[in-house]
Structure 1
Amino acid sequence: MRDQLLAAMPLKERRLQLETVSTAVLEGGDGPPVVLLHGQGEFAALWIRVIPDLVRTHRVIAPDLPGHGASSVRDNRIDIEVVLNWLDELIDQTCQGRPPVLVGHLLGGAIAARYAVHHGDRLAHLILVNTLGLGMFRPAPSFAAPMMGFVAHPTPKSRDRLFSRCFVDMGRVGEQTGRQWQPLLDYALDRARTPSVQAALRRIIPRIAMPAIPSGDLERIDVPTDLIHGRHALQVRLRTAEAASARYGWPLHVIEDCRDDPAVEQPGDFLAALRTALRASKKAESA
């Protein structure tokens, strides 16, 4: 399943030892570096609908997060310090000395934001996509029940029930993704059934994803920051992103007809928002 997914992507995979994590990293393209951090329970191949466009103009680095996908953690030790050191070493070893654009989705967004609090000088831009950590994790009940059901009993039925809540129209997403859709579904189920992934989620979600990042920390982020958010999101409600935008002055790009994964559900609109954010940042730098 993983081989099928990677064969369709214009990236090469290599393995790096970062902190205590044997990390699977997808890389490709030339230009300014962009690091893509996926969400909880996911894997780097879920960026599949935006990577072909991004590699035309950027060097793309998409790792499997610690304990996710094919990235394994020695001794199952995962905490904030390990994850932030992991990201720091990833940037050191993949970005060729150039500050990257750091894009984080859900859990990846919480990691990216926590990293930017202390290492904004190492980044060119921060993009937070439906990100966790901007407030306490309070998903809609219509999402929470399927989420808990899939975690407790990962089956094709519970997976599809959960995924149907992640998208406004799961059938349309599947049709547009084409032949890679079923391998994505199958690999997601395989990972959810993997004991090491289950153990990683039990450690990383309560420590990094669920707690709100203190507002004083978020105010310390001095790298240009934009928010991208699906209008109908159920994991992190739009009002959370709207409040963060108003409080910290971060531009908010709302993706219509979209729930929790703009890069999968509305890749064209997601890329347009991403490029708008980067153009605005470049203009500000040259002014």
Structure 2
Amino acid sequence: MPTTVEEISLRRVATNGIETSVAVAGTGPAVLLLHGFPHTWRLWSAVIPRLARHFRVLAPDLRGLGASTRASDGYDADTLADDAAGILDALGEHTAAVVGIDAGTPPAFLLGLRRPERVRRLVLMESLLGTLPGAEEFLAGGKPWWFGFHSVPGLAETVLAGHEAEYVGWFLDVGTHGRGVPEPIRDAFVSAYTGSDALRCAFAHYRAMPESAERIREAVRAHRLTVPTMAVGAHPVGRSLERQLRPITDDLEGHLVEDCGHLVPLDRPDALLGLLLPFLLG
């Protein structure tokens, strides 16, 4: 039977010095879903029901986001990967397929790269892996404007106070080519990112990017990615992530979802499931 919203439970899980809120649904081999900005676990709302027919789905709010601890530090990809491993430990899962998008992609990548015994299969979407070669075409005109805005300590959370709904709404509209997301999900995202402390945590992920890039460079010098991996691109990242992964990955398949914005799980959930299910069940 399909999983319904009522069959998704929320758990408080202690990991790596914080508490995370984790949506849990279904039974079977674990699948860990890692979201990005400006999202919570609800980014996966349209795909969890079908995944939960085959898997035990674990969809946490990342450190500092949603209902997880608003930590003072630890927003680099290395620490986030440790958070993810701790979630698996706390929920009794030694291994999982790991799916990451946006800010969830670098920690998913590091988890698979450094701890392949924990990751059965790896899906990475709509993000770049630090400064690894392969993204030169995407970055030819510079990084997206909000990367610099978010990176200045204390600025964005001050400027945006009182205008969180408009700001989050812009990303949701752009990330779906103007098609938008269901109102309850939009409201949940806006609520999660309202207030200076919520915004501080969100932008801490961007402010940690230089450290994350260095951790990724170090890890790639020491390891190859050996777990079966799928790269999924849409707009705007396209195949840039796939090109970064190709030289360092033993088993890689790449896909581009046509007419799809950055929020792939909400904008084109059926197309995404058409890629995810065969890969994760393989």
| Change over 3 Å in CA distance of 1:39–1:185 after alignment to 2 | closer
Of 178, 183, 188, 2:187 maps to: 183
- Determine which of 126, 133, 137 is the counterpart of 1:130: 126
Change in Cα spacing, 1:195 to 1:116, as seen in structure 2 (3 Å) is same
Deviation at 1:259, TM superposition (A): 2.2
Query: Secondary structure at the residue paired with 1:109?
Result: helix
Query: Which residue does 1:112 correspond to in 2?
Result: 108
**8 Å contact kept, 2:38–2:189:** no
Distance 1:246 1:200, change over 3 A: closer
Offset of 1:135 from its aligned partner?
Answer: 4.0
Cα deviations by residue, 1:100-126 (Å, 9 ceiling, x for unpaired): 110011111110101111101111101
Q: Aligned to 1:277, what secondary structure does the other structure show?
A: helix
Structure-2 residue corresponding to 1:44: 41
**Partner deviation per Cα, 1:21-62 (whole Å, 9 max, x = no partner):** 111111121111100001134211211111111112110101
Residues 102 and 242 of structure 1: is their aligned pair in 2 closer, same or farther, counting only changes over 3 Å? closer
SS for the counterpart of 2:111 is helix
Which residue is equivalent to 1:160? 169
Structural mapping, 1:131-146, within 5 Å: 131-133=127-129, 135=131, 144-145=144-145
SS in 2 for 1:72: coil
1:102 aligns to 2:111 (yes or no): no
Aligned equivalent of 1:4: none
Q: Secondary structure in 1 aligned to 2:216?
A: coil
Q: Distance in 2 between matches of 1:23 and 1:33?
A: 17
CA contact (8 A) 1:35 1:60 kept: yes
Count of aligned pairs = 263
2:230 to 217, 226, 230: 226
1:80 Cα deviation after fit = 4.7
- Bigger shift: residues 47-56 or 150-159: 150-159
Is 1:205 matched up with 2:226?
no
Q: How does 1:28-107 map to 2 (within 5 A)?
A: 28-97=25-94, 99-107=95-103
Matched letter for residue 55 of structure 2? H
Change (3 A) 1:145 1:246: closer
TM-score, with length taken from structure 2:
0.79
Partner of 1:110, secondary structure, is helix
Q: Structure 2: where are the runs of 5+ without partners?
A: 151-155
Q: CA RMSD in A?
A: 3.1
Deviation of the 1:132 alpha carbon: 2.7
The structure where helix makes up a greater share of residues is 1
Unmatched tracts of structure 1, length 5 or more? 1-6, 283-287
Query: What's the CA shift string for 1:193-226, capped at 9, x where partnerless?
Result: 6255246335533432x56833835961111111
Amino acid of the structure 2 residue aligned with 1:173: G
Taking the aligned partners of 1:80 and 1:242, their CA distance within structure 2 comes to 19
Q: CA deviation at 1:96?
A: 3.4
Q: Could you tell me how far apart the structure 1 residues matched to 2:50 and 2:245 are? A: 27
Tell me the distance in 2 between the aligned counterparts of 1:255 and 1:203: 29
- Matched AA of 1:197: C
Compute the displacement of 1:83 (Å): 2.5
Q: TM-score, structure 1 length as denominator? A: 0.78
The share of aligned pairs that are identical, in percent, is 23
Return the match for 1:173 from 154, 168, 180.
180
CA distance, structure 1, for counterparts of residue 27 and residue 211 of structure 2: 35
